[in-house]
Chains A and B, each alone.
Chain A
């Protein structure tokens, strides 16, 4: 660019990487590394293991020398990243097994209106983000088929939500299923209104979630209902989620109003994985 490009002047202890993602999830990472052109540094994406499990082999991509101290890695859309959080490192810096990358500019504009028609399945989404401890990581989703949540409107005692299917078509016996979390927990089934083969809307009457709810008042715990779409009889259920934009952590950003009925507070929300659930909790006294 033109007159001044030194927004991050000065030496930094750890390299800071810029990342760009296109609509299909192709990821380009650029980083400044003071290495000779003959060096062979690599980008490592390492899936963060679940608690108690050990790290699996990460995804490695060559960093290509594209200018004085400028290096670039391209992660093509295939093979897709498994669903989860992938921490970004550089391999091949002198004296270090792997060097964590700091988050630089993340150009995610191609994702902002990414809910288009052309998304193929399995649906793969990659969103680079800054972790709470200030590192660069990539949030990945990989779903054989997908139900994208849309607008939600509220009536005071219920909600009506829209959704669009990817990799599945609505048919005979289509249903929206709300599964309460926990062992032997109940399931509520709602018949959606179809608008074509992929678009649907459905209304949840909160009373239906209260019937088996915890006792209002002392000590009762919050209950969570996870929302699924079953496109047709006999087909596997699909988790309702909102994945097709640039928001890696939706929970605190897409916030919906709560309704109070029967001493309980009901509020739909996005989980830490951007899936849609409904929380039912005793109203504060």
Chain B
């Protein structure tokens, strides 16, 4: 478990390092992660047009122990900004908003039994759902890692 947790962020960095602009332009598959000001992340796979959605480490720390996660049904069509579910700790409930528009392809069933994954690995095993993007340009307009970091620190 521990090694997995360490491996994940490391592999994310690795992926980013391997996607220089020249490769992106050649329309070869690329994966990148972007963020919302609501403290969610989306990891987008251009080959499959699928985005994986989760909450950031910053968000899980603010929430505290997550005890319940409510997610939308598979096949649901969602528009960017829609409330699509909720993450609940003892102290509070927080909406999950669709960071991009699309159709829900898969939800992370493991969270039903292990909501604590959201605290342990918010940007790994604690992902929330995968959706097929209807408009990938929405993804491109989200915050990159640097801008998100500035958002967390700055305001």
Q: Do A and B bind each other?
A: no
